[in-house]
Amino acid sequence: MVNEAVRIALAEDAEDLRDVEIRQAEPSADFEDFVAILRESGRI
């Protein structure tokens, strides 16, 4: 039972690490810029 929970947690961690690797090349924006982008696009 514990082993299965650990396997699940490690699988989730591995998925998160893959996502970080994929998204590393994406541009970043600070929070204020992000909110401004959302406002300009009409999303908020």
Q: What is the pLDDT along the chain (44 residues), one digit of tens a residue?
A: 889 999 999 999 999 999 999 999 998 889 999 999 999 999 99
What per-residue confidence (pLDDT) applies to 1? Answer: 84
What per-residue confidence (pLDDT) applies to 14? Answer: 97
Residue 35 CB neighbours (<10 A): 13
Q: How many folded domains does the chain comprise?
A: 1
**In whole angstroms, what is the distance from residue 44 CA to residue 38 CA?**
6
What per-residue confidence (pLDDT) applies to 34? Answer: 94
What per-residue confidence (pLDDT) applies to 28? Answer: 87
Domain span at 30: 2-40
What Å distances lie between residue 3 and 6, 9, 10, 13, 14, CA to CA? 5, 10, 10, 15, 16
